[in-house]
Amino acid sequence: MRHQRAGKKLGRDSAHRRALYANLAGALIEHGRIRTTVTKAKAVKPIAEQMITLGRRGDLHARRQATAFLRSRDVVHKLFSEVAPLFKERPGGYTRIVKIGPRPGDAAEMAYLELVDEAYVAKEREARTPEPVVAPEPVPDTADEATETAAEEPEPEAEAEDVSDTEGASDAADEESAEDSPSA
């Protein structure tokens, strides 16, 4: 009988459910905000708040209890060193659930489960966002292009007089290199 057993089963056995809660709570601590279903968010919210309370205590026994549940030393370290000090003066209510509407695939109601510290959430989101990658421009072989363009387009006489000495010297060097290279 399930008398006095509160909480959702989420279609999982107890070990799978416990692992799900540990992973969701760890992701919340690590990233500051996670997107999940409303039911999962409501189930993991008290567990995440318990972990933050352990972090606020800060003693060795609390660290060992958090490690036993979260199973990740990196997440526990972040909990005790970065997250818990943010809530040192707050007596509770470290997380909130913000509903964001149905999921396109199966219309499951989705929500953000996030820490109430706006600055920390924004910092974590910025740290996760990759910088845009600018593709490097291909470096053309200047000697080959100079000889091809010189052969294709003869310059008018008026423009040739305006060419500075440095450009004329580089054109002469290009012509010499074209003569030295073997033709096919």
Number of domains in the chain: 2
My answer on whether 86 and 167 are in the same domain is no
Q: What is the pLDDT of residue 130?
A: 81
Q: What is the pLDDT of residue 122?
A: 84
Q: 63: Cβ–Cβ under 8 A, 6 or more apart, which residues?
A: 54, 76, 80
Q: What is the pLDDT along the chain (184 residues), one digit of tens a residue?
A: 878 888 889 999 999 999 999 999 999 999 999 999 999 999 999 999 999 999 999 999 999 999 999 999 999 999 999 999 999 999 999 999 999 999 999 999 999 999 998 888 888 888 888 878 777 877 766 665 555 655 566 555 555 555 555 555 555 555 555 555 555 4
Structure tokens at 28: 């919340």
Amino acid letter, residue 21: Y
Q: Report yes or no: 24 and 37 within 8 Å, Cβ to Cβ.
A: no
Amino acid letter, residue 13: D
Q: In terms of DSSP H, where are the helices of 71-153?
A: 73-78, 84-86, 118-128, 142-152
My answer on whether 38 and 63 are in the same domain is yes
Domain containing 146 equals 142-178
Residue 22 lies in a domain: yes
Residue 154 lies in a domain: yes
My answer on whether 56 and 79 are in the same domain is yes
My answer on whether 112 and 69 are in the same domain is yes
Amino acid letter, residue 28: L
My answer on whether 99 and 18 are in the same domain is yes
Nearest CA to 115 among 27, 21, 24, 29?
Answer: 29
Which CATH number belongs to the domain containing residue 24 in this structure? 3.90.1030.10
pTM of the predicted model as reported, rounded to 2 decimal places: 0.67
Q: What is the pLDDT of residue 111?
A: 97
Q: What is the pLDDT of residue 95?
A: 96
Q: What is the pLDDT of residue 174?
A: 58
My answer on whether 123 and 155 are in the same domain is no
My answer on whether 87 and 19 are in the same domain is yes
Q: What is the pLDDT of residue 132?
A: 80
My answer on whether 64 and 120 are in the same domain is yes
Residue 171 lies in a domain: yes
Q: 21: Cβ–Cβ under 8 A, 6 or more apart, which residues?
A: 43, 44, 47
My answer on whether 61 and 18 are in the same domain is yes
